[in-house]
Structure 1
């Protein structure tokens, strides 16, 4: 078996590159597709998002447990599922953006429910094995941080394409085009399949089967006891859920902020470039920063910077669009610190679970983390739709009222500032695995594994 190296990093990058062609496309534009093309009420869309994500949260857990109870094949425990399930996932993603003209409001709402929930369920079947795979590709904490960074770069490369080119292609004269949405979905589907195949072919799972065979039979009661004792996992779930609510809420509101408040959907392209560019600027320095200061320390400071930047945007409501984006760039530099290391946090809490229980349950623990993200998406979907409706947005109007525009600005600035401040507090003051304790955990776990194999 070859050693961990650049081939694995590129393979892991391609996995999230493929994931985010649809994940970010949906996060950024599905609400406006439903409100402006299907003409669904924003509140109804928010309800759909909330219900679908709650369903997906439990689908994640079920799929994670399913994988952990299966015997690994000759190609590994997780990689084969990426290969098998990526094709139905991509097909369901394209189907979400099919628009049949002249149908009733009830038909569009029912079609949105069925297609969106189907896509979300199939997304779990690919994303759970993909995310879990990082913990069995290497046991080295530094190499895992590298995987987290490469995964985030993959996500941002997809974001660069979606958020920079998306507004230019998807909107005609500042209005959403149904045909263009479908065309983009088909193109993204082809690119996503290519990325999933690259991920499958370039990566290797290196955790030996001997270590797995020495484990006692997994009991759900033991797993649950370990989870509730795992303070790093519990606080990380709180931080992740809140962070996901923030990211999804920003993505949903930004479309209306630039389309209606600034009256320039082209600004979304610039924001997309800034978001991805911030990650690419920070990425070369993140490993050095983590080695020197630690994941917890770097991530918390980055989130604090982002919270302050959004607070400044709120208290300066009369900024020009470019000045707004300039301050937003500072927020995105702060965001990037957490985005680049967040997946390494996951592998740390998986290790801590093994340290507490003696059980290596990568799929289960990752699926619990993914469940928290899905709940965050559900909350953001529900709040996002309700908030847009609450400020008076009406898709039938050519121009929104002054009160509605003011409300949209508040949603896009003050709410993210508050949520990011909460994320900072949780990571900085409540999450216990600082640099020193993470290094000690790796040492203690290595000693435990050695004793097991003797």
Structure 2
């Protein structure tokens, strides 16, 4: 591959490469949504650990994710291209710790009593959550940084973005759906700790599920890895060898993170993403808890209530994808954000106590 050819032909992802790279996000979204939506129930109501300690663990993991992302971005950017690429290798580097944490986190010993302040189990959980979010941060930062280099064509990037969105929705829906399926199989989902058969079922099922999700993560990450190449970066590196590069260090990276906030539009954009992310994550984490301890759902009722999520997810993806093509990405994004905001505000209606006769299951 010559420098002239690289300059003449824009890089594209097409065919199997397009689908292979885009599907890589499925192996990222599924494990993190599953852990976010069920780790609290598992460690609080199955293992018996104090709820506050479990919550602190998830907060530690999220903090590690936020702080490590720019660090890994810096490390990946500083890496010199090799025969297997510049960013691609980091997809593989993230896998061992990520996969092990996905599996081992479900093998915790049980507490002797419900709500226990067991520091052995606490350190076990905190450590594995920290390792999971740290390795996930490396995988995610690497994957997201590859798209602009793998595709230089705007239409091709829209295709990639649409497919990534589709696989993200699939991973999110499954990540929420699986815990509700588990809840539907329990005899007393609101009193798991004191129901031996329910605890035994989850002690068997969750580790097995961890293995399945870990294998899925490996397969889809490898699909993204083998669907891309970074030979062009080697040529690019050779073509600028004589140019003096500006040195950067980690301190500069964190300092430059604040520079875009000087722009008022960027502030508003980030604020909208922050608020929307908080709302969606609260909904994702609280949905199984709300259905179990507020609605008191049982058996197939969990599935019945969640089926509309799948329908709306598919229809929503098709609708907004078409609208983005006809009305433009920016206008569509603003409209979608407003609808999400109103929908999240509307969930406050769930806090109002309803008369029993009008409840659907009464």
TM bucket, shorter chain: 0.7 to 0.9
Please name the residue that 2:122 is paired with: 109
Please name the residue that 1:180 is paired with: 205
Contact 1:12 1:203 in 2 (8 A): yes
CA RMSD, 1 decimal = 2.9
Please name the residue that 1:293 is paired with: 327
Alignment pair present for 1:168 and 2:181: yes
Q: Greater Rg, structure 1 or structure 2?
A: 2
* Structure 2: 5+ residue stretches without partners: 2-10, 193-198
Aligned CA distance change for structure 1 residues 57 and 312 (closer, same or farther; 3 Å)? closer
**Structure 1 position 151, deviation (Å):** 1.4
Please name the residue that 1:150 is paired with: 163
**Structure 1 position 67, deviation (Å):** 0.8
Please name the residue that 2:215 is paired with: 190
Instruction: Work out the CA distance in 1 between the residues paired with 2:110 and 2:146.
Output: 42
Contact 2:47 2:111 in 1 (8 A): no
Aligned CA distance change for structure 1 residues 11 and 120 (closer, same or farther; 3 Å)? same
**Structure 1 position 183, deviation (Å):** 1.6
Please name the residue that 2:271 is paired with: 238
Contact 1:8 1:203 in 2 (8 A): yes
Contact 1:165 1:269 in 2 (8 A): no
Secondary structure class of the residue paired with 2:24: helix
After TM superposition, list the pairs within 5 Å mapping 1:22-37 onto structure 2.
Answer: 22-37=31-46
> Which one has a larger percent helix, Structure 1 or Structure 2?
1
Aligned CA distance change for structure 1 residues 263 and 243 (closer, same or farther; 3 Å)? same
Aligned CA distance change for structure 1 residues 305 and 155 (closer, same or farther; 3 Å)? same
Aligned CA distance change for structure 1 residues 68 and 310 (closer, same or farther; 3 Å)? closer
Aligned CA distance change for structure 1 residues 222 and 21 (closer, same or farther; 3 Å)? closer
Secondary structure class of the residue paired with 2:83: coil
Instruction: Work out the CA distance in 2 between the residues paired with 1:215 and 1:5.
Output: 35
| Post-superposition CA distance 1:166-197 (Å, at most 9, x none) | 32235521246232221211111122211111
Aligned residues: 322
Instruction: Work out the CA distance in 1 between the residues paired with 2:266 and 2:341.
Output: 23
Alignment pair present for 1:8 and 2:13: no
Aligned CA distance change for structure 1 residues 211 and 53 (closer, same or farther; 3 Å)? same
Contact 1:92 1:119 in 2 (8 A): yes
Q: Given the alignment, which residue of 217, 225, 249 partners 1:200?
A: 225
User: TM-score, normalized by length of structure 1?
Assistant: 0.63
Instruction: Work out the CA distance in 1 between the residues paired with 2:307 and 2:85.
Output: 37
Secondary structure class of the residue paired with 2:97: helix
**Structure 1 position 136, deviation (Å):** 1.1
After TM superposition, list the pairs within 5 Å mapping 1:20-419 onto structure 2.
Answer: 20-101=29-110, 105-169=118-182, 171-173=185-187, 174=189, 175=192, 177-205=202-230, 208-209=233-234, 213=240, 216-220=245-249, 224-225=255-256, 228-229=259-260, 231=263, 233-264=266-297, 266-270=300-304, 272-315=306-349, 317=352, 318=354, 320=359
| Post-superposition CA distance 1:398-423 (Å, at most 9, x none) | xxxxxxxxxxxxxxxxxxxxxxxxxx
* Structure 1: 5+ residue stretches without partners: 323-454
Aligned CA distance change for structure 1 residues 27 and 102 (closer, same or farther; 3 Å)? closer
